Amino acid sequence: MYGIFSYGISTPRVGFKHGNYILDLEVVSLLGYFDDLAINPVVFAQPALNDFIALGKPAHRAIRQRLNELLDNDASAFAGVHNQVFIHESRTQMHLPVRIGDYTDFYAGIHHAENVGRMFRPTSDPLLPNYKHLPVAYHGRASSIVVSGTPIRRPNSQFLQAGKPVFGPSQALDFELELGLIIGKSNPLGESISVDEAEDYIFGITLFNDWSARDIQRWEYQPLGPFLGKNFASSLSAWVLPFDELEPFRVAGPIQEPTPLPYLQTTGKKHFTLELEVWLQPAGGDEICIARSNSRYLYWNFAQMIAHHTVGGCNLNIGDVLATGTISGSTPGSYGSLLELSWNGERPLYLSEAISRTFLADGDTITLRGWGFLNGVRVDLGDVTGTIHS
């Protein structure tokens, strides 16, 4: 996994995660280990991965291959320079891994969409008529995306109380368990990306927490969608897993019925099985796993999201974030938000005999974790954590 880190008085630079150490790729590059790869070392000395991403997949594969070789045999290739190239993560500070131009949030978790429909439109079909025809999405706020570990301030705004709008801190603060795609290639404005070439436009994958203030969102969102209910903060993991590393975890997705229009039709295994977990730690308490889900529960796959996003000509840029929407499974223990876990606050979630939650309390820390594990191969995603404060 790649990320942006600094330590001591260093400037932010590109790092590669290796156990509890970060390999300083600026130093590795300056020491000449990439010399024959014809890679400009400047891309490793940047405060964001964008220039590194722009090198393209052949270069990323060459670098990855070289890193595999260098890290073999107890990394003896680095004999004499170990202290320069390996920085223990306890000494480092992580930064937002990409400079994000635009951020889009999909709604591709069908169980989440159904649960929300059941709660808020109990007398009609839980899914709206468009849901199985197109990957519903909206544009989110890019400026307030923060790196994992950044404290999250409970937002103020308007919400209804006893039928009247009041102003104050949200009383229904929630997390959302999502994956974030990091775009790896740009398309020109006016030109679409076909569903068959769409995966080529993904640099990598992250965990993503789309913090949500349900009371604010409910009052504001008609008719144009979420605004202050979402734009106070979203948390992105510090580490981006290159898309190639997901190959061992390909699976078939759900049968899509009705069949989507041709521009959304995919064949083969375009879903991925990644285990996802949500952990909640109250202030001073123990961390407890409150949900276990899996990315295969998404209805729409990544290629369909990108094809739909661009079919009208919208241009994606390197570093853009496309999040999946909340990934819930079909059973209560797999729900990816407190909205669902507490069924809109009606059924408190007990963390212990004494402690329960409907929505998040100040001091609560939410950590999302994820990994692939199939046929003996295991790959970890970078986790995302954030603590609520008033």
β 177-183/137-140 pair status: unpaired
What 3 state SS string does 243-282 have? Answer: HHHHHHHEECCCCCCCCCCHHHCCCCCCEECCEEEEEEEC
Taking CB under 8 A as the criterion, the residue among 223, 268, 284, 376 binding a second copy is 223
> Is residue 222 annotated as involved in ligand binding?
no
C-beta pairs of 342-351 under 8 Å, 24+ apart in sequence: 343/119, 344/119, 344/214, 345/172, 349/290, 351/280, 351/282, 351/285, 351/288, 351/290
211 binds a second copy, rule: CB under 8 A: no
Site for a second copy in 100-159 (CB under 8 A): 101-102, 105, 107, 116, 128, 130, 133-134, 136-144, 146, 153, 155-158
Judged by beta carbon, residue 24 or residue 114, the one nearer a second copy is 114
Of the candidates 178, 236, 284, 285, the one whose C-alpha atom is nearest the C-alpha of residue 386 is 236
> Is residue 235 annotated as involved in ligand binding?
no
Paired with 112 in beta bridges are none
Residues 253-292: x/- map of binding to a second copy (CB under 8 A)? --------xxx-----------------------------
Judged by beta carbon, residue 217 or residue 294, the one nearer a second copy is 217
Give the nearest distance from C-beta 356 to a second copy in angstroms: 26
| Chain-centroid distance, C-alpha 47 | 20
> Is residue 89 annotated as involved in ligand binding?
no
Site for a second copy in 282-341 (CB under 8 A): 308-309, 311-317, 320
Judged by beta carbon, residue 3 or residue 229, the one nearer a second copy is 229
Q: What angle do CA 314, 176, 123 make, to 5 degrees?
A: 90
Q: Dump strand ranges (E) for 122-213.
A: 137-140, 145-147, 152-153, 156-161, 164-169, 173-174, 177-183, 202-209, 212-213
219 binds a second copy, rule: CB under 8 A: yes
Give the nearest distance from C-beta 366 to a second copy in angstroms: 18
11 binds a second copy, rule: CB under 8 A: no
> Is residue 297 annotated as involved in ligand binding?
no
The enclosing H or E element of 59 equals helix 57-71
Paired with 389 in beta bridges are 153
387 binds a second copy, rule: CB under 8 A: no
Kindly list the distances between the CA atom of residue 53 and the CA atoms of 262, 282, 287, 297, 305, in Å, as whole numbers in the listed order: 30, 37, 35, 28, 20
189 binds a second copy, rule: CB under 8 A: yes
Active site residue 112: yes
Catalytic hit among 60, 112, 271, 308: 112
CB 302 within 8 A of CB 285: no
Give the nearest distance from C-beta 226 to a second copy in angstroms: 7
Supply the residues annotated as catalytic. Answer: 112
Binding-site residues for Ca(2+), please? 105, 176, 178, 210
Binding-site residues for substrate, please? 107, 121, 217, 221, 326
Binding-site residues, please? 105, 107, 121, 176, 178, 210, 217, 221, 230, 234, 326
